[in-house]
Structure 1
């Protein structure tokens, strides 16, 4: 993985002010969804990490991490390689259980909950490395996500009872709608391993959205993208937020982060070293030192 690159303030300003690509796919995740306002400082807290520490033997992967996400915002979690960003995602989504501290979602603790329970509560995620079912079609991959909220019993599925058919039909329609939303509806019947890398990334996002999340966690979604694909991704993330889904973003591409996020937290060696708006974080000496490897007083 290439090292993160900080652009000059002038380059970042130009990127963050770019107009939305008119050619980008359009259409809501759900027809009833209304655009959500950009988060403000008085917004309702959706996710809260309170002094979260995670140890692996003698290694402290997360050291007293605290921050909160507000409903309707795009929140960036950044830092150099090995800073603890993905570990933080894993603690939030039930992959790891924190050694100490608390993680609350909609006011309820996530500590001790199983991964599928966290998904059903309204948190979905993607991964650094694309994780699809390679021999299944794009449509079938998204339908797997839609199954997260199906209530069909084993008996109903075995005997193909009416409830099973209704949920199958609804799941298929919803999945096609999401493929259209991310711009790859024309690939619905294609086996996922035959999709381009960028299409696979979009497919993984569609599958995550199929679980009907309140919070979508994206782990380096722009990895491997060319500049044009990154602009399209920026537009897609904004569209997702505008349907009412809060977005938590891990990303090394600083131009994308600065162009799309409302607030940012910066980690280094498992500790939080900065939090604020993109402009505040960009000019923070501790952040510059963390990325460029220079002493804080020299940054």
Structure 2
């Protein structure tokens, strides 16, 4: 077979047609996603020069400074702790809601409940953060209510500008993201398995512990990842709720990149944050794979 005939045959194949269809999207994704990531990765090994210039002195100096410097480590550990706390609170509170909708709400009303759960998406994320700043503020709703009830004599100063305020705000913002995947996992559970467990003498609590919870773990792990990944890089909440006093990784990147004009150091911090997220994500993906194997 001649080379020309071979190329014509390849050009008429389904694989070639498929590649032709997806190539514009693939090129677009590469330009918008891969290219910036590669640029940041290359910048992270350079050195910062005067007036925001970059010196092509490829080394691990930026990473050494980040992972050995007390300030950088403290901010990264704070970001990791806040993200883990937000994820734990969000998933723990989201599971009962998803369970109630899946097992207690009539089928003809489940769509309405899911619609109500998504109502927070109707407003801007920034507006929701501002609302929590008003609620938790010195003259906010909580302090005003406690003062009017006579429970406190003066407004509490511990409600805002702290890590606890971060957790509350972010848990509320990402609650729908946790409820929906858990609900989907619960809906896939065969109800006959639960009935069989109770027929064998198990209580409802033990049936939940031994059957429902393990079968819903893929949804729980998905909810954990959906909440954890964006919260560790959240920029708005620490800046507004924390008043800039408790910066996280994203705030540190902003300072290095824009205020200090240190593109190399900012890129190294960004890559370090991505490595942390990738490590945690890999752990939960392995757990998810284990649960999926256990269900077979």
TM tier, smaller: under 0.3
The structure that is strand-richer by fraction is 1
So what's the TM-score if we normalise by structure 2? 0.27
Query: Counting helix residues as a fraction of each chain, which structure ranks higher?
Result: 2
Q: TM-score, normalised by structure 1?
A: 0.27
Larger radius of gyration: 2
